[in-house]
Amino acid sequence: MSDGVGNLPRGPARILKAAGWSWQGLRAAWRYESSFRLEVCLLLVLGPVALWLGQSGVERALLLGSLLLVLAMELANSAIEAVIARYGNEYHELAGRAKDMGSAAVLLLMLNVLACWGLILGPRLF
């Protein structure tokens, strides 16, 4: 019985192949998802600010990591939407629920960004 991975390359070749697929996913998100493009632009602006304003490695990791989590969840949300679109545009309650939950996950991670940035930088500003 096959384990389903017999045809995949092994070792470093497999890592390179996986990296290629990841790069394809990032390119597709940039090309087709305006929310992803906006969040990347925010990362490009706020990422250096996070590294500059963070006073320790932990603070920098929280400030920058919270931004990266939003991007990661946006990719997952876009994947959910793409799979649902694959099966058609007609309304289905479960499809709508899945899309709403994916969107809610992105929202929660955006609130996490506000919480991290507010808790770390707020006391310095006020």
Q: List pLDDT tens digits, range 37-56.
A: 999 999 999 999 999 999 99
Separation of first and last alpha carbons in the chain: 64
Q: Which one of 39, 59, 74, 93 is the catalytic residue?
A: 74
Of 91, 92, 46, nearest to 70 by C-alpha is: 46
* Fold of the 12-125 domain: Helix Hairpins (1.10.287)
pLDDT, residue 1, reads: 46
CA 93 to chain centre: 25
81 is in an annotated binding site: yes
28 is in an annotated binding site: yes
pLDDT, residue 26, reads: 97
Positions in the chain whose pLDDT score sits under 50: 1
pLDDT, residue 107, reads: 98
93 is catalytic: no
27 is in an annotated binding site: yes
Domain ranges of the chain: 12-125
